[in-house]
Chains A and B, each alone.
Chain A
Amino acid sequence: MENEKNHIVPYSTFLYVLAILIVLTLVSVTLTQISLGALTVAAALFIAAIKSSFVLSIFMHLKFESKMLVLMVIAVILIICIVIFITLLDYLYR
């Protein structure tokens, strides 16, 4: 039936991704403890974005999912980013 398209992710992939995520968490904690000024916010959010891309693609299986689903998720994330960006632009330059 549809067994052929059921992709089995090996256990090790999840463990590698988990290790990467924990390392990135510790890196962001260390980075923000050292004061980088305005860069701190950017660094912390950049690392959070990298972490979420791992969670979305591997843990949430999007890497092996149909293109339609992937496009939907990208579109929604883009909309959220645009809304946040425009709102903050409005506050900064009002």
Chain B
Amino acid sequence: MTTEIHRDDLASKTGMWLFLFTEMLLFGGLFIVYSVYRFRNTAAFHLAAEELSVFVGTLNTILLLISSATIAMSITAIQKHNKKLTLILLGITVILGIAFLVNKYFEWGHHIREHIYPGSPVLALRGQGDVLFYGLYFFMTGLHALHIIIGLIFICVIGQLIIKDKISHDNFVLLENSGLYWHLVDLIWIFLFPLFYLIT
């Protein structure tokens, strides 16, 4: 125990937060682009946003919120030496993340079948406002979905480390960092959801 190499958990977490700040700035910039284009094309954005399914959006929001809670609970579980429960909670998080992506797949599939996708000639006929709305919609939800995929891979790697006991009750900062990343993805969705689905 005493021969353990030096570890600085606070520095590790601070590093993760610094990375999350760059992510916040990335999406913050996109929110500005969205707001400015919305301000210039109010009517078109209003009509286009009404075509998105509020039900699917709400369902996905709730799925992400639950997955955030389960990964947060997994940290409590590992602190209480409960390895099995930690892995179960991480498993639920991964399943919910995949469920989110499946919903997104059907949502995007529905739009693409109706010839609504960036660069589509049908969309171009509907005018500049619609092109901008759906361009931003596909880009921002796509970038968010990419973050979900990265987060899922991150969590799976962490799960492997827990199975191998590389992460345990006295050394779980990596699990905390994967949790922070997952919560950030949730945080971004908390703003994407009202902007695209609710404010019509």
CB distance A18 to B65 under 8 Å?
Answer: yes
The A33-71 residues at the B interface (CB cut-off 8 A) are 33, 40-41, 44-45, 47-48, 51-52, 55-56, 58-61, 65-66, 68-69
**Residue B176 CB within 8 A of the other chain:** yes
A interface list, Cβ under 8 A from B: 1-3, 6, 8-11, 14-15, 17-18, 21-22, 25-26, 28-29, 32-33, 40-41, 44-45, 47-48, 51-52, 55-56, 58-61, 65-66, 68-69, 72-73, 76-77, 80, 83-84, 87-88, 91-92
Subset of 15 A-B contacts with CB under 8 Å: A8-B76, A9-B75, A14-B73, A18-B65, A25-B65, A29-B198, A32-B199, A40-B199, A48-B190, A55-B190, A56-B187, A58-B72, A59-B179, A60-B183, A88-B35
The B26-79 residues at the A interface (CB cut-off 8 A) are 28, 31-32, 35-36, 39, 54, 58, 61-62, 65-66, 68-69, 72-73, 75-76, 79
A59: which of B32, B183, B193 is its contact (CB, 8 Å)? Answer: B183
Known pairs A52-B191, A84-B28 / 10 extra A-B pairs, C-beta < 8 Å: A1-B170, A10-B76, A11-B73, A14-B76, A32-B194, A69-B10, A72-B17, A73-B17, A77-B24, A88-B39
Distance in angstroms from A9 CB to nearest chain B CB is: 6
Also in contact, A28 and B194, with CB within 8 A (given A8-B79, A77-B24, A87-B32): yes
Distance in angstroms from B134 CB to nearest chain A CB is: 20
